[in-house]
Structure 1
Amino acid sequence: MKKIFKILCFSVVLLLGYYLYTNYPLDLISGFSAKSVASGHFIDQRPQEMIENGDNDVSVIFLATNKIDEKEKLVTTSVFGLKERKAIYREGLGVTLINDDFDITKPYLVPKRTKLNTNLSFPYGNEQPKDTVFANIDYSKLKTAVTNAFDKKGENDKRTRAVLVIYKDRIISEQYGTGFDKNSKILGWSMTKSITATCFGILQKQGKMNIMKRAPIDEWAKDERSKITINDLLHMNSGLEWVEDYSKLSDATKMLFYDTDMSKTQINKPLVGKPNASWNYSSGTSNLLSGILRKQFKTHQEYLDFWYSDLIDKIGMHSMLVETDMAGNYVGSSYSWATTRDWAKFGLLYLHKGNWNGEQLFDESWAKYVATPTNGSNGKYGAHFWLNAGGYFPDAPRDLYSANGYQGQKVFIIPSQDLVVVRMGLTEDEKFDFNGLLKGIVGSLKK
C-alpha cells in the first residue's frame, strides 16, 4: 500500500512539473506573485496574507513564497527556492517587476500631480455625495440586485469586492466586500486600456493628434505594416500577430512579466491579417499605443504629467496610480489602481460625452467613436471599450459599453438609462452573473 502511495505521489509531482514546464515557468509564477504582492501591499496597504489568499489565488501562483522588505519597498519571491524575482515600489510610479540589470539606486522622474480643492460634493468635488431619493427607483429591488452580487456568509464563489451604482450623477447604491471600503484602491487590470485610449481622444480634441494617420513606427516604414493606422490600433484591428492567453506562457504573459520596455513588444510582430479587417484583442497593442503617446511629447516628464494633468487629476481621480515598466513607460494595457468611486468618475466622463463639470475634455464624437463596433468583433468591441451592441448581455440595454479588466473588473456606461455601474472583484463572466446584475439594476428604474 505504501509503495502504491509513493508511486502516486511521484506521479503527481511529475505531472505538476510537466505542467509548470510547459505552461507556467517558475520565474513567471514568481514574477506574477512578486508584482501582485508588492502592488497590493504598497499601493493599497493590504496585508500579505490577504493578497496571497485573494489576488494570488490564481492557478499555480500559490506555489510562490513572498518576502516583503518594508524599508526598501521591495518584494522578493521564489518558487521552491528557485527562480527568484523582485518587484520594487517607487512613489509616483507604483510597482515595477525588475530584472538583475535594473539599478534601483538610479534617480527617476515622477508625474506631477495636482489635487482639486473644491467644496463641491461627489463626483465633482471632495465633499461627501449628496443624499438623493428618486421617486422612479424601486430601492428594494435595487438593494436585492446589488446584494446578490456578493457572496453570502461562508461562500466564496462570486468574490465581489465592490459594486457602485450611479444614476443622474448620484450614488444610489454602494456596497463593499469584507476588507474593502470606499478608500480601497483596486487594480483595474485591462480597464487601463480604456484610460490609454482616452488620452488619444484628449489629444485629438486639443488638435495634437489625428488618429486616422499611420502609426509612427519606424520599423514598419518599409513593409506592409506601414499601412496600420492609430485608428486600427485603437480598434485592436491592426492585423499584427498576438496571442493573449494568461493560462500559459504567451505573448501577453511574456510581455508583462519579462520585458523591460513593454511599448516595443508588438512592434516586432509580423502581419498575419489585414489592417482594419482582423480584430484580435491584444495587450501588446495598448502598450504600443502608450509608446506612441510618449512620442507626442518632447520630454519624458511631459509624457508622465499628461495622463494626470489632462485626464486623471482633471476629473478628480486622485486615488489613481498608473504603474510603469522598467523603461519608464506607463503599462497602458494593465496596471492602474483606483478607488471604486474614482473608477466611477471615469464612467461618468463618458456618460457625459467628455464633459466634466462644464469643461469638454474630448469631443462628444469621441464617446460615439469608442462605442461603435469595429470590424470583425461581432458587435462586442469598439475602440478600447467593450460593447453590448451584439447583445452579449441580453437583459441589458444595447447602448451599454464598458471598460473591462481581468477577473471581472467593470465600469459599465449606460447612456439610455443615465447609469454608471462599477463592479470590482475576482471572478469573470463564467462564474459571475453580470447579466443578472445589470438586469436587476436597470429593472429597479421604474418606467
Structure 2
Amino acid sequence: MSKSLLLLFVAVFCINCSSDNKESDTPPTEEPLYFPPLTGTTWKTKSVESLDWNKAAVQPLLDYLKLKNTKGFIILVNGQIVMENYFNGHDAATNWYWASAGKTLTSAMTGIAQQENLININNKVSQYIGTGWTSTPIDKENLITCKNLLTMTSGLNDATDDVTPSALTYTADAGTRWAYHNVYVKLQDVVAAASRQTWSAYFNTKLRDKIGMDGSWFASGNNSVYYSTTRSMARFGLLMYNKGKWNDDVILNESYFNEATNTSQNINLGYGYLWWLNGKASYHLPQSQASFQGSIIPTGPNDMFMALGKNDQKIYIVPSKKMVVIRMGEAADNVNLALSDFDKTLWTKISALYQ
C-alpha cells in the first residue's frame, strides 16, 4: 500500500470514529408530553414493551383489579395510555362517581377563582357568603378562612357530615386542629358567590371544557358529587401532572398548584389543599386525631400525590415516573374509607410493572 493511500485510509477512519462518538454523546430527544384532543375518542397509546416494563406483571395486576370490584383503570405515562381496562359491565363511555376524589376539583376551582382575583384564600369565608353559615360565635366564625377549608383546619365539629349551620358547631379555633370534614363544600358556595355564576357553570367554563372532560355535578345529601368517565378523570390527572397547564394553556397557575400539592399545615403533613401527599414523615387519617408515622402508602412512590374517594375512587400522580393512575369502581373491600390496605397492595402490583 502506498504511503498516500495509507494516510487517506487513516483520515477516513478517524472521521468515522469522530462521527460515531458525536452520535453517542448526543442525549436522546425527550418525548414531549402528550395531550389528547379536546373532542373525540383519539388518545395516543404506548405499549408496555416500549417502556421495557415487565409484561409478566400485567395479568396479576388485572386479576387483582377485577377481584377487587374495579370498574375502570387507566395508566398514563407521559400523557399516553399504557393500560386502559374495564371490568364488571363498565366501559369507556360509562359515568361513575368520584366521591371525595372530587375534592381536588374544588381545590383547583378555588385556585382558579383566586388567580382571577375573585377571591383570596386567606380571607374569611363569611366575606363571600355572609355571616351565620355556622352556629359558632361570630368571633370564632370569622377566624375561618377559605384556606382553613382547603386544609381541613376549620375547627368545626367533624362528628357529622351535615354542613347546615346548626350542625357546624365550634370544636377548636380555626388552624389549630385537623379534621376531615365535608365543610369544604362551602368553597363551592364561595366561588359561586364571587363569580356570580352557578358552581357548575363556572366549573364547566373554567376547567371542564378547557381540558375536554365530560361529566356533571350532582347533589348528594349535603355534598356535591362529580360523575364522569374514567378518561375524564385521567384528563384532570394529566392537567395536575403538568402543574395546571394543558398544552400551553395555563388553567391553574403553578404557584397555587405548588401550594396545593405540598404540606399545607403542620398538623397533618400528608395533606395539601384537599390533596393527599405520600412520602411524608407522618400523616392523619379521616375520622381520627391520631398521628401515624411514615408514608401513607409505603409501597408507592414518595413523590406521589393523590385524590382519594370513598369506595376506592383514586387519582394517583407520580411526577418521578411521569405517571397518572386512575381507578374507579365499587369498594375493594368491606372497609369503605378513602384510604385502606387496597392502596398498599395495588401499588405493590403496579410497581412490579416497572421495577
Give yes or no for contact 1:239–1:273 (8 Å, CA) kept in 2. yes
Q: 1:380 to 1:121 in 2, by over 3 A?
A: closer
Q: CA RMSD in A?
A: 2.5
Q: Give the aligned partner of residue 11 of structure 1.
A: none
CA distance in 2 between counterparts of 1:163 and 1:298 reads: 37
Query: Paired residues, what number?
Result: 296
CA distance in 2 between counterparts of 1:142 and 1:125 reads: 33
1:441 aligned to 2:336?
no
Q: Give the aligned partner of residue 131 of structure 2.
A: 218
SS at 2:279 equivalent: coil
Give yes or no for contact 1:123–1:345 (8 Å, CA) kept in 2. no
CA distance in 2 between counterparts of 1:389 and 1:370 reads: 16
Give yes or no for contact 2:155–2:177 (8 Å, CA) kept in 1. yes
Q: Give the aligned partner of residue 201 of structure 1.
A: 111
Q: Which runs of 5+ in 1 are unaligned?
A: 1-119, 153-157, 244-250, 256-263
After superposition, give the CA deviation of every residue in 1:188-222 in whole Å (9 maximum; x if it has no partner).
Answer: 11122111121111112222221111212412783
Q: Give the aligned partner of residue 302 of structure 2.
A: 398
CA distance in 1 between counterparts of 2:243 and 2:302 reads: 17
* Partner of residue 43 from structure 2, selected from 112, 126, 129: 129
Q: 1:417 to 1:350 in 2, by over 3 A?
A: same
Give yes or no for contact 1:374–1:381 (8 Å, CA) kept in 2. yes
Q: Give the aligned partner of residue 209 of structure 2.
A: 313
SS at 2:120 equivalent: coil
Deviation (angstroms), 1:428:
5.1
Q: 1:159 to 1:310 in 2, by over 3 A?
A: same
CA distance in 2 between counterparts of 1:195 and 1:399 reads: 20
Q: Give the aligned partner of residue 53 of structure 2.
A: 138
Q: 1:186 to 1:127 in 2, by over 3 A?
A: closer
**1:165 counterpart letter in structure 2:** I
SS at 1:148 equivalent: helix
After superposition, give the CA deviation of every residue in 1:275-331 in whole Å (9 maximum; x if it has no partner).
Answer: 112110011x1222222122113354xx4311101011211112x1111479xxxx7
Which structure's relative contact order is higher, taking Cα pairs within 8 Å and 6+ residues apart?
Answer: 2
Q: Give the aligned partner of residue 290 of structure 2.
A: none
CA distance in 1 between counterparts of 2:166 and 2:148 reads: 14
**1:441 counterpart letter in structure 2:** I
Equivalent positions of 1:49-128 (< 5 A) are 122=36, 124-128=38-42
Give yes or no for contact 2:69–2:88 (8 Å, CA) kept in 1. no
**2:117 counterpart letter in structure 1:** G
TM-score by length of structure 2 reads 0.76
Deviation (angstroms), 1:124:
4.5
TM-score by length of structure 1 reads 0.61
CA distance in 1 between counterparts of 2:184 and 2:268 reads: 21
1:361 aligned to 2:251?
yes
Q: 1:367 to 1:297 in 2, by over 3 A?
A: closer
CA distance in 1 between counterparts of 2:166 and 2:317 reads: 32
Q: 1:410 to 1:222 in 2, by over 3 A?
A: same
Q: Which runs of 5+ in 2 are unaligned?
A: 1-33, 281-294
Give yes or no for contact 1:406–1:428 (8 Å, CA) kept in 2. no
Equivalent positions of 1:151-190 (< 5 A) are 151=66, 158-190=68-100
CA distance in 2 between counterparts of 1:121 and 1:353 reads: 14
Greater Rg by CA: 2
Percent identity, aligned pairs only, is 25
SS at 1:393 equivalent: coil
Give yes or no for contact 1:265–1:288 (8 Å, CA) kept in 2. no
